Amino acid sequence: MQKKKYAVIGHPIGHTMSPFIHKRLFELAGINADYTVYDVPPEELKAKFDSELSALNGFNITIPHKQAIIPFLNELDPKAKLYGSVNTFFNDNGVYRGYTTDPDGFLMALQNEGISFKGRTVILGCGGVARTMAYEAVLAGNELTLAVRADDINMAHALKAELEKLGNANVTVCLISELEGEIDVLINATPVGMFPHSELCPVNDSVILQSKSVFDAIYNPLETVLIQKAKANGSKAVGGMAMLVWQAVVAQTKWNNVSFNKDDIDKLCIDCIEELRNK
């Protein structure tokens, strides 16, 4: 069987976990495939697409090409249309399809930890990763609170206005210091607690005690202080490495219609942290 060819594109691409993750997934699925890295400056995207990228079986897309790739596609997945962003390209026998797998990767990370994405959802932060999760919370019909620092209050209100265009959105904005009440799903979309400042936590213990489940978008360390405290309280909790790996799993399902064992994915998340430490 002819070896399939995949890649990740971006600029500057730097160190990316994509080759490590996808090579392992190809092995688990028994697929004979190569996965390479392309550093593609924006002004070279069209020429590179025409000469090489369009001939690949598929590729992943990171900054700054997630919007720029769209004009080269024949079809967009509904989620990609909603977000105006594509992170996965699939060459389906000459039909170029675009997907965004981040939202489903996030939802699958929750699902595989038995976390129900229902009820009052609190997102700490309002940047790019928070936007994805906020959209998914509104689409799920959840009551949503955007909790931010004072410096980000205007940005949070802008995101609130954007979400309200979806219709039937129940969104409030507050300062992190003002958070109170029971929380069904607490999501940290800030960098607080990320290596090398792993000793930090974005909220105080009283907020964690009120949270039934926790998702931390940080993936290094594998378990932040927030995750550790949530688990110590008996809450279900999962970190960002699960989302990173599961969004790659979703890409694999688009490319080759494959499925994976939860235990294998859990092991891959742990191995990814070891890979990060060795870089």
H helix runs in 76-200, sequence order: 78-83, 102-111, 128-139, 153-164
Report yes or no: 138 and 166 within 8 Å, Cβ to Cβ.
Answer: yes
Q: Cα-Cα-Cα-Cα dihedral of 52, 98, 113, 22, to 10°?
A: -10
Euclidean distance between the first and the last CA atom of the chain, given in angstroms as a whole number:
34
- Measured CA to CA, the distance from residue 143 to residue 145 in angstroms comes to 7
- Catalytic residue (choose from 4, 5, 66, 279): 66
Length of the chain: 279
Q: Which amino acid is at 239?
A: G
What are the tokens at 81? 């249309």
Q: Judge whether 118 counts as a catalytic residue.
A: no
- Active site amino acids: 66
